Amino acid sequence: MSQETILREIYDAANRANPYPLWAQLRQTPVCWQEDGPDERGTYVVSTYREIEALLHDPRISSDLRNCAQTGGRPRTTMDPYRFINLDPPEHDRLRRLAMCHFGPPERSEYLEQLRPEMLRIVTMLLDQVRGQRQIDFVERFAYPLPVTVICRILGVPREDEPQFHVWAEAIVANASGSSKEQRRQLEQAQSDLNQYMAELVERHRELPGDDMLSRMATDTGPEGRMADSYLVATAALLLVAGHETTVNLLGNGMLTLLRHPTMFDRLRDAPDLIPATVEELLRYEPPVQFLVSRTTLDEIALAGTTIPKGVRVTLALAAGNRDPARFPDPDRFDPERRDNEHLGFGSGIHICFGAPLARIETQIALTELVRRLEKPRLVVDPPPYRPSPSLRGPEHLLIKVDGVAKARSI
C-alpha cells in the first residue's frame, strides 16, 4: 500500500471496524494528496489536529463545491445548493441564524433544557420495552429510536412517518460517499423523495402551525424575514437526517466502547457526575463523523510544508486529528478523565455541528439511565457489523446480553 492510496483503504468496508492505524499512517504526512477521494478525482487529506483546526477557521476553505476547479465548477448533482452547510458566508451565516433562532442559544437558550424531561421519558420507555429480554440489539432497540423520536418531536415530523423517511435517510448516508453511477442515482432519488415529503410537510405546518421548529421557520416574521421555500425544505431535510444519524453513531460507538471497558461502565453507575466528561471523550475517541469531504480551496494554502493549490478538494480527517499524539497524550487510550479535551468530534469554526448541544444532552441522559438500569451488559459479537458509510461510522447492529433491566425511577 502506497502513501497515496491509504484513503482508499479507509473507504474499504474491510477496515471499517478499526480505521485508526490507517489514520495514524496518514498523520505521518500531515497534508498529503490521496488518489481516491469520494468522486475519484483525488483530494488533499489533512490529518493532524493543529492543521485541521486551522483550516476549519480559514476563510480560504470553502464548503461550496461550485468553487472546485476539479469539477469545473459543476459539483456532483447530489450536492444540494440550498443546504446551508454547503454554502459560505454571508449566505451560510444568514441561513444558519434563521434556523438556529428556533432551536437553541442565544435566541432560545432555554429550549433544549426544557426538553430534558421529555428525553428522559423516551429513554425510560425504550428501556421498559426491553425489560425481560436477555439479548438486545442496542442499535435497533435504543440507539436508533431515541434520536429519531426526539428530532421528530423538535421538528414536528409525524412519528408514524418514520418508516418512510428511514429508507431515504439510510440511502442518503449509505451512498453519500459513493462514486458509482448507481450510488449517485440512489442518492439523488432519496434526496428528491425526502425533499418532496418535506415540502408537503412544511406547507401543512404553514397552514396549521404548531409549537415546533418547522412551524416556526415556515411562519417566521423576524427582522431577517423567513427562508425562501427552497432553503427551508433543504434545511428541514438536513436537520431531520443529521439530527438523528450522527447521534445513532454516538450512542452505538459509545455503548461499544464502554462494554470494551466494563470497569468504566460500572464506575459510571456510582459516579454519574463523570458522564458529561465521558460523552466528550467518546466524541474524541470514536467520533460519529470521521471526516469531512465537502471542502475546497479558494486560494493557495501553505500548510505543514505542503502547498495546497487553489480549487482542489480537501478532506479534513477529524478522527485522525482526535488521536493526534501531538495534541492528546496517549491518544489511543479511552480516558473519560482526560483533561483539556478540546476534540474535533463536532468540528469547529462557522460550520461546527448545528445539533451539538442536543446530541450532548441526549447522550448524557441516555448513558445515565443505561449504566443504572442495564444489569451486567456484555457484547455478543466484537467487532460488530458496521454501517456502510466510512464517514458516518458506527455499528449497524450491536448485540448485547444482559442479566436484566432494572425498574425505572419515578419520572
Average pLDDT of the residues in 171-192: 81
pLDDT at 42 over 60: yes
Name the band, by pLDDT with cuts 50, 70 and 90, for residue 61.
Answer: very high
Q: Buried b vs exposed e over 192-207: b needs ≥16 C-beta within 10 Å?
A: ebbbebbbebbebbbe
Q: For the chain, give the percent of residues with pLDDT over 90.
A: 73
Stretch among 16-20, 160-164, 198-202, 290-294 having the lowest mean pLDDT: 160-164
Name the band, by pLDDT with cuts 50, 70 and 90, for residue 338.
Answer: very high
Amino acid identity for residue 361 in this structure: I
Question: Among candidates 21, 243, 86, 272, which has minimal Cα distance to 149?
Answer: 243
- Strand partners of residue 43: 34
pLDDT at 77 over 50: no
Query: In this structure, what DSSP letter does residue 36 have?
Result: -
Residue 67 or residue 396, greater confidence? 396
Name the band, by pLDDT with cuts 50, 70 and 90, for residue 224.
Answer: confident
Q: Could you tell me where the beta strands, DSSP code E, fall in 41-138? A: 43-46, 61-62, 135-137
Name the band, by pLDDT with cuts 50, 70 and 90, for residue 110.
Answer: confident
pLDDT, residue 170, reads 85
Name the band, by pLDDT with cuts 50, 70 and 90, for residue 186.
Answer: confident
Coarse DSSP helix, strand, coil percentages of the chain, rounded to the nearest 5 percent: 50, 10, 40
Residue pLDDT, tens place only, 112-128 = 999 999 999 999 999 99
Stretch among 109-118, 129-138, 280-289 having the lowest mean pLDDT: 109-118
Q: Are 356 and 143 in contact (CB under 8 A)?
A: no
Residue 83 or residue 175, greater confidence? 83
pLDDT, residue 179, reads 64
Residue pLDDT, tens place only, 242-267 = 888 899 999 999 999 999 999 999 99
CATH homologous superfamily, domain 3-405? Cytochrome P450 (1.10.630.10)
DSSP string for 135-198: EEEHIIIIITHHHHHHHHHHHT--GGGHHHHHHHHHHHHHHTT--SHHHHHHHHHHHHHHHHHH
pLDDT, residue 59, reads 96
Query: How far apart, in whole angstroms, are the C-alpha atoms of residue 228 and residue 82?
Result: 10
Average pLDDT of the residues in 52-76: 82
Average pLDDT of the residues in 302-328: 97
**H or E segment at 248?**
helix 229-260
Could you identify the residue written with the cell 437558550? 109
Average pLDDT of the residues in 6-34: 95
pLDDT at 160 over 70: yes
pLDDT at 371 over 70: yes
pLDDT, residue 168, reads 87
Average pLDDT of the residues in 27-52: 87
